[in-house]
Amino acid sequence: MNRSTYRSTSADWPELPHLAWRDTLDTLHLWTQIVGKVRMEDSPWINHSWSVPLYITARGLTTGPIPHGARLFEIDFDFIDHTLSIRVSDGRSRTLALRPMSVAVFHDAFLEALRALDIDVSIHPIPNELPDPIPFPEDTVHASYDPEHANAFWRALVQTHRVFTEFRSRFIGKVSPVHFFWGSCDLAVTRFSGEGAPDHPGGIPHLPDVVAREAYSHEVSSCGFWPGNADAPDPIFYAYAYPTPEGFSACSVQPDAAFWLDALGEFALPYEAVRSADDPDAALMAFLESTYAGAADLLGWDRAALERPPGYRPLG
């Protein structure tokens, strides 16, 4: 298949009816926090929290390699076979079945599997970026796992990852990986101008202000996919700039279904508007490009020095 000419169809983008799968989403979100905290504790800190997120794979989500003494280990969610695997560079491994179970049961079974591999990691037991969090070892409330819904969420992440990666390739300045932040449960990619930014005000629930300030230490244009929650059940794509330039909300943004969220200071595009579009890739790319252009122009970024044309390939 020719990479440059492929375009997805609506059939590639799964439906995500939030009310039908909200309980699975809430539980899975907390499971990813537990796994992500292990990566965070055992990894050297990388700027803008890039040592924290998980990454999309051809079967689910992964921590990537984590150093532990002289060894490496990695943790993988598999949303096809519905397992959680821990693999160590010494050849040992453990696998847990993903099934309906409470966060407390998952927490204990997962940490016990790590200890069986001589990986003893202590994590902060309080969920991040959530109101009224229940400590992981005490959470018997969240205990749902529907394999079909977990798989659909992952397939939505896969399609989003494809388009985000193409968008990322068009920027030669500093740009983040496409990564899944387990605190906020979103897939994101961020472009940087290279200029410093004012201190972030912080105030994100259960996230130290110093982390937010370090994450936004420089000017950014950021975009992402968020699956929704009980208060805002519709999954969306979003785009924002930090600092938010004057006039950003009045920028011309595509496609027509995009809108400004004043309470959050960002643009949003319903996931369903992308999924149901004649050309979902083009609809999402139009949103990414138009929101970035509006932010970059208003902030005075040197776009000629930071961008490259679509489809650039130095070889072949």
In a domain, 313, yes or no: no
The reported pLDDT for the residue numbered 91 is 98
In a domain, 41, yes or no: yes
Q: Starting from the edge strand earliest in sequence, which strands make up the sheet with 259-261, in order?
A: 179-181, 186-196, 218-226, 236-242, 266-270, 259-261
Going by C-alpha positions, the residue among 227, 223, 219 that lies closest to residue 163 is 223
- pTM of structure: 0.96
Burial of 39 (0-12, 13-18, 19+ CB in 10 A): buried
**Which among 91, 117, 138 is the end of a domain?**
138
Total number of domains in the chain: 2
Same domain, 248 and 100: no
Domain with 105, as residue range(s), is: 16-138
Q: What is the pLDDT along the chain (316 residues), one digit of tens a residue?
A: 455 567 899 999 999 998 899 999 999 999 999 999 999 999 999 999 999 999 999 999 999 999 999 999 999 999 999 999 999 999 999 999 999 999 999 999 999 999 999 999 999 999 999 999 999 999 999 999 999 999 999 999 999 999 999 999 999 999 999 999 999 999 999 999 999 999 999 888 888 999 999 999 999 999 999 999 988 999 999 999 999 999 999 999 999 999 999 999 999 999 999 999 999 999 999 999 999 999 999 999 999 999 999 988 888 6
Same domain, 130 and 152: no
